[in-house]
Amino acid sequence: MRPSGRDLSDMRAVSIETGVTKHAEGSCMIRIGDTHVLCTATIEDRVPPFIKGSGLGWVTAEYGMLPRATNTRMRREAASGKQGGRTVEIQRLIGRALRAGVDRVALGERQITVDCDVIQADGGTRCASITGGWVALRLAVNKLMKAGDVLSDPLVDPVAAVSCGIYAGQPVLDLDYPEDSEAGVDGNFIMTGSGKLIEVQMSAEGSVFSRDQMGQLMDLAEKGVTELVAAQQAATA
Amino acid sequence: MRPSGRDLSDMRAVSIETGVTKHAEGSCMIRIGDTHVLCTATIEDRVPPFIKGSGLGWVTAEYGMLPRATNTRMRREAASGKQGGRTVEIQRLIGRALRAGVDRVALGERQITVDCDVIQADGGTRCASITGGWVALRLAVNKLMKAGDVLSDPLVDPVAAVSCGIYAGQPVLDLDYPEDSEAGVDGNFIMTGSGKLIEVQMSAEGSVFSRDQMGQLMDLAEKGVTELVAAQQAATA
Amino acid sequence: MRPSGRDLSDMRAVSIETGVTKHAEGSCMIRIGDTHVLCTATIEDRVPPFIKGSGLGWVTAEYGMLPRATNTRMRREAASGKQGGRTVEIQRLIGRALRAGVDRVALGERQITVDCDVIQADGGTRCASITGGWVALRLAVNKLMKAGDVLSDPLVDPVAAVSCGIYAGQPVLDLDYPEDSEAGVDGNFIMTGSGKLIEVQMSAEGSVFSRDQMGQLMDLAEKGVTELVAAQQAATA
Amino acid sequence: MRPSGRDLSDMRAVSIETGVTKHAEGSCMIRIGDTHVLCTATIEDRVPPFIKGSGLGWVTAEYGMLPRATNTRMRREAASGKQGGRTVEIQRLIGRALRAGVDRVALGERQITVDCDVIQADGGTRCASITGGWVALRLAVNKLMKAGDVLSDPLVDPVAAVSCGIYAGQPVLDLDYPEDSEAGVDGNFIMTGSGKLIEVQMSAEGSVFSRDQMGQLMDLAEKGVTELVAAQQAATA
Amino acid sequence: MRPSGRDLSDMRAVSIETGVTKHAEGSCMIRIGDTHVLCTATIEDRVPPFIKGSGLGWVTAEYGMLPRATNTRMRREAASGKQGGRTVEIQRLIGRALRAGVDRVALGERQITVDCDVIQADGGTRCASITGGWVALRLAVNKLMKAGDVLSDPLVDPVAAVSCGIYAGQPVLDLDYPEDSEAGVDGNFIMTGSGKLIEVQMSAEGSVFSRDQMGQLMDLAEKGVTELVAAQQAATA
Amino acid sequence: MRPSGRDLSDMRAVSIETGVTKHAEGSCMIRIGDTHVLCTATIEDRVPPFIKGSGLGWVTAEYGMLPRATNTRMRREAASGKQGGRTVEIQRLIGRALRAGVDRVALGERQITVDCDVIQADGGTRCASITGGWVALRLAVNKLMKAGDVLSDPLVDPVAAVSCGIYAGQPVLDLDYPEDSEAGVDGNFIMTGSGKLIEVQMSAEGSVFSRDQMGQLMDLAEKGVTELVAAQQAATA
């Protein structure tokens, strides 16, 4: 029934390749099916003005798409002179999600910026960015700990995200682009490795959904995030 | 326990005053406690390029805050040269929410723009905007129907929204600003008059939540939206 | 002869309602006929760089219009990415006008920002903004004086403004929108409560005027400003 | 008493050199003392959208200053990414002023853009721009008439402008920069060759003025404009 | 003598991997040492306005760098609201270079956009972009020819580019970042497969060079381009 | 054979008029045929952040064109909200070129900004800007030396620039606009008074060139720069 032939509760193939750029303090290429996102983490000593002198750290994120990551070429945001509403919304989401798993006291007064750049898109880029972004963050923090700059681990729980939706009347896990563009209801669940919720975003476009369906989607999300956290652990072990 | 002395499941006082500006096709001032939003609906014959010639209508929204709607003055977005990420995110949300209750075939090839301008803010401005925006939309559509420009009612189900969150460890309904700025978990539920979900956005900042808590918040949201829809019906009867 | 049936030297009905928002240090809604402007005054301890350390205070203003304040919806300036030339011109005018009535030594090194947001427009919004803006400023300064932060009153003379023009060949006072859009000559007189001039702006679009006509317009302006100052005094008594 | 030694009612030396660039349809360099403005007029067949098909013509203006036209270097507006409020205000004024002397039916459906670029500034650049801009416009219209593209002269009356102000308590004509920066009251009078008023802008910064003083300033302005119109006629004879 | 231990006339290792994204009509990842650039070619039926209806084709290019392609993170251009001067300069260069090898009549009225995105930078990114960009262009044109949309080959001669400079007093080929940041003289030679010049850009920063040195650099460039064209041929055979 | 009747190796008439504005520390109007550029040099005590405290000076440049410097009016860059790619490229080039002749230690920690504004354009504006810009710089530095602010001359060698190209198959010197718009190959040579190269930019648009032709163009450039340096010396003697 799904265009890809997957079962309703099947994720696409997941791979996480670390150490893909020589400059960044942490980096990975995450591939969820044909969605490929390059994630890098940059450590800087400065923090945003609103926490200067507080002793607390900060984690933030930026998101971008190469112009031809998609089926038809999109206009380059740098050329159009601003980041679109969708981009801003996504990068705020990634930052919030990653911060939920960070002990900012333990991190100390420094900032880690996670850049998520979509090299190839096939649905689910924001979830892939969060999941891969956490891996880049993990690797950068490992470097801080190895250097003795950070003493107790500020990453209290892994963070991963997966999309779910109602496609052709059925709840499905991890929508690819053909499903995403047809689904009346879809959204993202961001969770921790220990099964807690960080963010739930379910949205209907020209449709509505019931509380029962909401429950079924959460069941799927829990399954998906469990698999993603296992892949994160394998990649950073 | 709540700063306002309300019970956990109490809404603030709700009032909706219609016909507040002489130019707009539909308008209201919605007051949810000390949060006051002026909502106007404008009917135009043109539609966005991507549906031109399709026979379908469109509903969109814009959101703004007067600089001194808040406790300390915020920079005017027109002066800073762009709408901030928060503004863009909110107005996209309002538009999506209102469209979920519209039969776009029945509306016909025309656009209704709902402007939501916050005159005074005390938490929950996006929910007030959706709830009041639907009233302005209802009044504008009534005008189209009275004129015979639209034959069957395109507003298939009322749309309203309420915030919920976990404050001081307890699930609470309709957060005001003091609660909102302290809550570790909060979000918005957008629902129809018939109890269906349109959008769920729950988010933890520096915190996490369980699936049980998610259920308690949904119970509160259902109660709040029921009260808001009753106020919408009274205002537009 | 006038569309509204008013005599040549009649003002529209004037009302000034104070204390309309809970956050601002001073606020009012001024209504000149169907022109409604919300004016708020914000006190801040910082001053612009060019007077830092001088001991002098500063008064500045910003002006905006809600998109549907007018008969057809105007594009939101925040969305178009900049304030238009008309907006910039008006807010510079309001600031200059208000400063003319201020003893900046007595005010002390602080800034008061007066925001004038047009809720509904029917001609004469800049004059209403100045007249209402002075009321908001008065209330904010009263608060400073009551708190003992300012010792002698920095508001040396009330400031008010009225429009005049030549409509259908006759000099008329306080043009509404139907008159304003037809008048070949129109402009604004900004004066003090004691009858001194602060700013005169008379302009002909596709027309010219004589020095005699200029004198008749000044007579009307003096009458109008006298009535507006009385309304200011009543509102702030 | 004046820094330059001039009498209260003396203009600075005026010179208007025509034909200063080979590309423009009309051009001049106007020098009012040390204020030098290059004015060019460009004829185009297109008109702004709001008069398309009306048969009416349009005259518009743009204004700029070279970065080192002033005593200390100003930031280049092209580099700062926008025209400042002062620039926008001035170029709107120049356009309005020039249109007041134009019969737009006689001009026919075409646009003339007058560019006024300040090469060296010493006060009064907007008045010099209007006076010189009219000369460039006159020369461009002459070209249209010689070619038979326009049959009856659309320039019904010359347009010129001069500044006046109250300096050291005395009304003075044609303020230079040292006077302008000290004057408590100053402004501009735009008039026609036949002595009619087009625009009056008198403004007090930190000061006020009486109706009597207003009359004295108008006497001075009439004297100045008469001299400027004579210079325009000599340059375009 | 060179930091990398290379001989004066040695290129770094060159690899060109084709077909690296599933959406673009042509794509490759070019690696010149540690400089890695992802190049994609997009075919569109529209052309820029200035050649509409001419029957001629167009090739253009855009260039970007991921924020952490470099040793310290650079600000994302989309976030800063514009492409920097360096970016604009480079992408204009790439477009000009590629067009020099194209028969625009044979291409027919269509546009090919070549996007060059630097994934990792270590000097010479603009030369790598041109060399890899030509490969992406070649592959996209092959697709047009296979489909019969283009009949005779519009790519008349391969185009490749290499940097040269004077490092520690010696002319060297293909500068890496440590050399580039120290070289007093450096630049780029863009040439065709048949040894003709398309563009020469030699520039001294805080230094000068003689005509003899210019000749030595051209000898090196010819050697480098010959090797790059061989790599292009191997990748697209 | 050349539209102007000049021989292949003839420059246009060159004139350099100094002291053309009263405010700038150095200024000239350079005229190369019908290309007229106003160059001013401004001395400021501040330097860019990246050399603060280094004791080194900085020379930078900005470039602009009046809207009607060209045959058809171009949009004013200040009005379009940004400097185009061509402008940015040119002003970076002028700055680099001038710095190549400066001993930044001798200059001391101050910045000189050279503004080059094209009053009338007929080809070769960037070369005229460099040649005239050096004269303005020379005059400003003379002022510093006369005042004793700079002790040894920081201008170690004059800098001048000329364009060359292949027009109708022949190498020609100093292209005017009719030649420039037809030439298949053209570019700029920036050299010092002692015959050293600073920058070479040769570029083919829809064409290619040989190494022999490159040599012939360099011969022409040497002749042109020699004449320009003589004119610079005469103007600043």
Please report, as a single letter, which amino acid is at residue A146: K
Please give the biggest Cα pair distance in chain B: 56
Half-sphere CA count of F3, side-chain side, radius 13 A: 13
- Rounded CA-CA distance C31/E182 in Å is 69
For A46-81, letters b (16+ CB in 10 Å) and e give ebeeeeeeeebbbbbbbbbbbbbbbeebeebbbbeb
Predicted TM-score (pTM) of the model is 0.86
E and C: touch, per 3+ CB pairs < 8 A?
A: no
Nearest beta carbon to residue D197 from set C92, C157, C208 = C208
Please judge whether D69 and F44 are an interchain contact, meaning their C-beta atoms are less than 8 angstroms apart. no
* Rounded distance between C-alpha atoms, residue F87 and residue F116, angstroms: 11
Please give the annotated binding residues of E, written as ranges. Answer: 86, 124-126
Q: What are phi and psi of E110, to 5 degrees?
A: -145, 165
Query: Which pLDDT score is estimated for E82?
Result: 80
Average pLDDT, chain C: 95
Determine if residue F169 is labeled as part of a ligand binding site: no
Tokens for B85? Answer: 């990420």
**Number of structural domains chain C divides into:** 1
Nearest 10 degrees: Cα torsion A133, A136, A141, A147: -160
Touching subunits for chain A (3+ Cβ pairs under 8 A): B, E
Chain F closest-CA separation from residue D217 CA (Å): 30
**Mutate which of D36, D44, D45, D73 to disrupt the F interface (most F C-beta within 10 Å)?**
D73
State residue D80's pLDDT score.
Answer: 84
pLDDT for res A206: 73
Chain C residues within 8 angstroms (CB to CB) of chain D? 82, 85, 88-89, 92, 96, 99-100, 104, 157, 187, 192, 196-211, 214, 218
pLDDT bracket for residue C206 (50, 70, 90): confident
**Dist CA C212 CA B41 (whole Å):** 47
Tell me how close the Cα of E211 comes to any Cα of chain A, in angstroms.
Answer: 38
- DSSP letter, residue F49: G
Residue A1 is predicted with a pLDDT of: 87
Candidates C21, C68, C80, C137, partner chain B, best to mutate (most B CBs within 10 A): C68
pLDDT tens profile A101-144: 999 999 999 999 999 999 999 999 999 999 999 999 999 999 99
Chain B residues bordering chain C (beta-carbon distance below 8 Å): 21-24, 27, 34, 38, 40, 42, 44, 62, 64, 66-71, 73, 76-79, 81-83, 87, 113, 115, 117, 119-120
Q: What is the DSSP pairing of strand C111-120 with strand C58-65? A: parallel
Q: Decide if F77 and D81 are in contact by the 8 Å CB cutoff.
A: no
Distance CA C37, CA C41 (A): 13
**Average pLDDT of chain F, as a whole number:** 95
- From F8, F16, F13, F11, select the one nearest F38 (Cα to Cα): F16
- Residues in chain B predicted with pLDDT less than 70, given as ranges, are none
Residues of B in Cβ contact (< 8 Å) with C120: 21-23
pLDDT at residue F51, as a whole number: 93
pLDDT of E94: 97
Question: What was the pLDDT predicted at C85?
Answer: 81
Confidence of residue F160 (pLDDT cuts 50, 70, 90): very high
Q: Give the mutation candidate from F73, F75, F87 for the D interface (greatest D CB count, under 10 A).
A: F73
Residue D130: the pLDDT is 98
The answer to whether residue A4 sits within a structural domain is no
pLDDT given at position F85: 82
Backbone dihedral angles phi then psi of residue E145, each to the nearest 5 degrees: -70, -40
The answer to whether the Cβ–Cβ distance between C117 and B42 falls below 8 Å is no
Return d(Cα A70, Cα A68) in angstroms, integer: 5
Instruction: Report the alpha-carbon distance of residue D38 to residue F29 in Å, rounded.
Output: 14
* Alpha carbon of D38: minimum distance to chain C alpha carbons (Å): 23
* Tens digit of each residue's pLDDT (9 = 90 or more) over F170-195: 999 999 999 999 998 999 999 999 99
Contacts of D210 in chain C (CB under 8 A): 196-197
Q: What is the average pLDDT across E172-190?
A: 95
Q: Indicate the residue of D88, D100, D200 with minimum beta-carbon distance to C85.
A: D88
CA distance E168 to E166: 7
pLDDT tens-digit series, residues C157-199 = 999 999 999 999 999 999 999 999 999 899 999 999 999 999 9
Q: What percent of chain A has pLDDT over 70?
A: 100
Residue F1 falls inside a structural domain: no
* Chain A residue with Cα closest to B208: A198
Residue F172 placed within a domain: yes
The H or E element spanning position E224 is: helix E211-236
Which pLDDT score is estimated for C80?
A: 84
State how far residue E21 is from chain A, nearest Cα, in angstroms. Answer: 7
Distance from CA of D22 to the nearest CA of C (A): 32
In a domain, C5, yes or no: no
Quick one: pLDDT band at residue A83, thresholds 50, 70, 90?
Answer: confident
- Nearest by CB: F200 against E92, E200, E206: E200
Could you tell me what percent of chain D has a pLDDT over 90?
92
pLDDT at D192 over 80: yes
pLDDT of res. E133: 98
For residue range F50-67, list pLDDT tens digits in order: 999 999 999 999 999 999
**Contacts for A158 with CB less than 8 Å, ≥ 6 apart:** A101, A134, A138, A192, A193, A229, A232, A233
Most A CBs within 10 A among E23, E25, E27, E45, hence the mutation to make, goes to E23
pLDDT score of D206 more than 80: no
Give the minimum alpha-carbon distance from A219 to chain E in angstroms, rounded to a whole number: 32
Core vs surface per residue F77-104: b (16+ CB within 10 A) or e: bbbebbbeeebbbbbbbbbbbbbbbbeb
Question: CB-based contacts of A113: which residues, under 8 Å, 6+ apart?
Answer: A41, A42, A44, A59, A60, A61, A62, E67, E73
Does ipTM come in above 0.85? yes
User: D71: closest CA among F64, F42, F140, F147?
Assistant: F42
In 3-state terms, what secondary structure has residue A196?
Answer: coil
Between CA D134 and CA D132 the distance in angstroms is 5
Phi/psi for A137 (5° steps) reads -65, -45
Q: Does D115 fall in a domain?
A: yes
What are the tens digits of pLDDT across the range C54-75? 999 999 999 999 999 999 999 9
CB contact under 8 A, F200 and E214: yes
Task: Write the CB contacts of B63 (distance below 8 Å, at least 6 apart in sequence).
Answer: B87, B90, B91, B94, B115, B116, B117, B118, B126, B129
Q: Is the pair D, F in contact (3+ CB pairs within 8 Å)?
A: yes
Residue among D82, D210, D218 whose CB faces C211 most closely: D218
Rounded to 5°, the CA angle B126-B131-B132 comes to: 95
Q: Cβ–Cβ of A120/E76 closer than 8 Å?
A: no
Instruction: Tell me the percentage of chain E whose pLDDT exceeds 90.
Output: 92
Sign of the torsion formed by the C-alpha atoms of B80, B83, B86 and B91? positive
CA angle F161-F165-F170, nearest 5°? 140
Residues of A forming the annotated binding site? 86, 124-126
For chain C, where are the alpha helices, taking DSSP H only? Answer: 77-80, 85-99, 104-107, 125-146, 177-180, 211-236
- Residues B115, C68: C-beta atoms closer than 8 Å: yes
The C-alpha atoms of residue E184 and residue F52 are separated, in whole angstroms, by 22
Which residues, other chains included, contact A116 with Cβ-Cβ below 8 Å and sequence gap of 6+? A37, A38, A39, A61, A62, A63, A64, A91, A94, A129, A132, A133
Interface size between D and F, measured as CB pairs under 8 A: 88
pLDDT at residue E109 is higher than 90:
yes
State the CATH number of the domain containing residue B171: 3.30.230.70
- Looking at the domain assignment, is residue A224 inside a domain? yes
- Across the interface, do D197 and C206 touch by the CB < 8 Å criterion? no
Is C208 close to D198, i.e. CB distance below 8 A?
Answer: yes
Number of other residues whose CB lies within 10 A of the CB of residue A184: 16
Nearest chain F Cα distance for residue E97, angstroms? 8
How crowded is the C-beta side of B34, counted as CA atoms within 13 Å?
Answer: 15
Mind telling me how many Å the CA of A31 is from chain B's nearest CA?
26
Residues D122-171 have pLDDT tens digits of 999 999 999 999 999 999 999 999 999 999 999 999 999 999 999 999 99
- For B63, B112, D112, the CA distances from B60, given in Å and listed in that order, are 10, 6, 39
Q: Which residues of D touch F (CB under 8 A)?
A: 21-24, 27, 34, 38, 40, 42, 44, 62, 64, 66-71, 73, 76-79, 81-83, 87, 113, 115, 117, 119-120
d(CA B59, CA B39): 14
Tell whether A5 is covered by a domain.
no
pLDDT of A84 > 90? The answer is no
Report the residue of chain E nearest A42, measured CA to CA: E73
Q: What is the pLDDT at residue F91?
A: 95
Listed in sequence order, the residues at least 6 apart from B137 whose beta carbon sits closer than 8 Å to its beta carbon are B26, B41, B59, B98, B102, B112, B114, B155
Q: Say if the Cβ atoms of F198 and E218 lie within 8 Å.
A: no
pLDDT at A197: 96
Collect all residues of chain F within an 8 Å Cβ-Cβ radius of residue D79. Answer: 62, 83
User: A78, E73: Cβ pair inside 8 Å?
Assistant: no
Q: Which two tokens stand for residue B224?
A: 């709040």
Nearest CA to E197 out of F207, D175, D129 is that of F207
Asked if C187's CB is within 8 angstroms of D208's CB, the reply is: no
Q: Which residues contact C177 (CB under 8 A, 6 or more apart)?
A: C71, C121, C122, C123
**Would you say residue F7 lies in a domain?**
no
Residue D231's pLDDT is 98
* Segments forming the whole domain that contains residue F188: 14-236
